[in-house]
Amino acid sequence: MRTTKLPNGEAVPVLGLGTWMMGEKASLRAAEIAALKLGLDLGMTLIDTAEMYGDGGAEEIVAEAIKGRRDETFIVSKVLPSNASARGTVAACERSLKRLRTDRIDLYLLHWRGNFALQETIDAFHALRAQGKIRHWGVSNFDLADMEELMACDGGTDVASNQVLYNPQRRGIDFDLAPWSRQHAIPIMAYSPVEQGRLLKHSALLKIAERHGASAAQVCLAWAMRDRATIAIPKGTDPAHVRDNRAAHDLTMTPDDLADIDRAFPPPTRAKPLEMI
C-alpha cells in the first residue's frame, strides 16, 4: 500500500475505509464489521468515521472491527461543529474514545465550520493532544479562505489534513485548494470519491474502465489518488466491493485516461464555492 505523509512526516495509506452511513441498521452490523476487517487485511488500515455517523453507531462498528488490531490501524474521527467549543470538543472526543474503545484517536477533525471561533477549537485540539487523547488534528469541508484563516490562528499551522468532497464530477478544489494544500504539505482526504455510486454508469468512466479491465469505481478512485498524495476513503459493505476498492490502488491512470476525464469533467477555470454532501 502506497502512503502519503502528514506534515510531521508520519506515513499514512493513500487508500482507506469510509464508514459514512454505517452503524445505522442492526441487520447490517455483522456485514459492516466484516467489511472493515477485510479492508484491514488488504492493507487499508486508515479508517474514517465520525460522531455524526449513525449517531455514534459507526464508531461502535469500528471498535468491533479493530478489536485486537488497534496498533495497526490509523483512526480518523470528527467532532460536530455544534460540539466544537473548548469544553464541548473535549467532551465529544471522550465520548468517541469510549465508543471506539481506544485510548487515542490518530486524527481528529472539525467536521465543518460552525459558530465557535476556530481558535477555541484549536485550543481544545491542542489540549487533547497534550493529554494523549488525539495524535493529530485537522479539519473537514474547509475551503481555501477557511484554511488561510485557520493557519493564521495561534497553533493553526499544526493542521494535519483537510477532508473534502472530491471526485471527477466535484473537482472545484483543483483550481486553488488542492494546489495550496500540496504547497503546504497538507494532504487532502477525498470523501464520496465515487459520488455515492452516481458515477458508476458514466460513459467516459466506463470507457476508461474497459481499457483497463477495471470498474468505473476503480477509475474514480485511481483518479482521486493520481497525485500520490490525496487519500481516498471509499465505503465498502460487502467483500466484493471492498476488494474492488483495494484493486483501484494498483490501477495507474495514463495520460490518455486523464485527458478523457478532463474532457468529460472539465477542470475548473476559476474559484468555486466548496461543495459538500
Running DSSP on this structure, what letter comes out for residue 225?
Answer: T
From 53, 108, 166, 191, the catalytic residue = 53
Q: What single letter denotes the amino acid at residue 136?
A: H
> Considering its fold, how many domains does the chain have in total?
1
Is 204 domain-assigned?
Answer: yes
> In this structure, are residues 232 and 190 in contact, taking their beta carbons and an 8 Å threshold?
yes
How far is 254 from 76, CA to CA, in rounded Å?
31
Is 274 domain-assigned?
Answer: no
Question: Could you give phi then psi for residue 107, rounded to 5 degrees?
Answer: -145, 120
Give the count of alpha carbons within 13 A of 90, CB side only: 12
Is 277 domain-assigned?
Answer: no
Alpha-carbon separation of residue 29 from 9, 50, 51, 97, 185 (angstroms): 35, 17, 17, 20, 37
Q: Is 130 exposed, middle or buried (0-12, 13-18, 19+ CB in 10 A)?
A: exposed
How far is 65 from 39, CA to CA, in rounded Å?
10
Res 25: pLDDT: 96
Is 144 domain-assigned?
Answer: yes
How far is 264 from 252, CA to CA, in rounded Å?
19
Q: Give the cell for residue 235.
A: 465505503
pLDDT digits (tens, 9 = 90+) for 138-170: 999 999 999 999 999 999 999 999 999 999 999
pTM assigned to the model: 0.97
53 is annotated as an active-site residue: yes
How far is 149 from 99, CA to CA, in rounded Å?
32
Is 192 domain-assigned?
Answer: yes
Domain boundaries, position 58: 3-264
Mean pLDDT of successive 10-residue segments in the chain (277 residues)?
Answer: 96 98 96 98 98 98 98 98 98 98 98 98 98 98 98 98 98 98 97 95 97 97 96 95 97 97 98 93
Res 124: pLDDT: 98
pLDDT digits (tens, 9 = 90+) for 212-240: 999 999 999 999 999 999 999 999 999 99
Is 165 domain-assigned?
Answer: yes
Res 277: pLDDT: 86
End-to-end CA distance of the chain: 28
> In this structure, are residues 24 and 31 in contact, taking their beta carbons and an 8 Å threshold?
no
Angle between helices 216-224 and 203-212 (to 10 degrees): 90
> In this structure, are residues 173 and 274 in contact, taking their beta carbons and an 8 Å threshold?
yes
Q: Give the cell for residue 125.
A: 485540539
Res 59: pLDDT: 98
> In this structure, are residues 75 and 100 in contact, taking their beta carbons and an 8 Å threshold?
yes
C-alpha of 105 from chain center: 14
Q: Is 273 exposed, middle or buried (0-12, 13-18, 19+ CB in 10 A)?
A: exposed
The domain spanning residue 217 has which CATH number?
A: 3.20.20.100
Strand, helix or coil for residue 108: strand
Res 276: pLDDT: 93
How far is 233 from 152, CA to CA, in rounded Å?
28
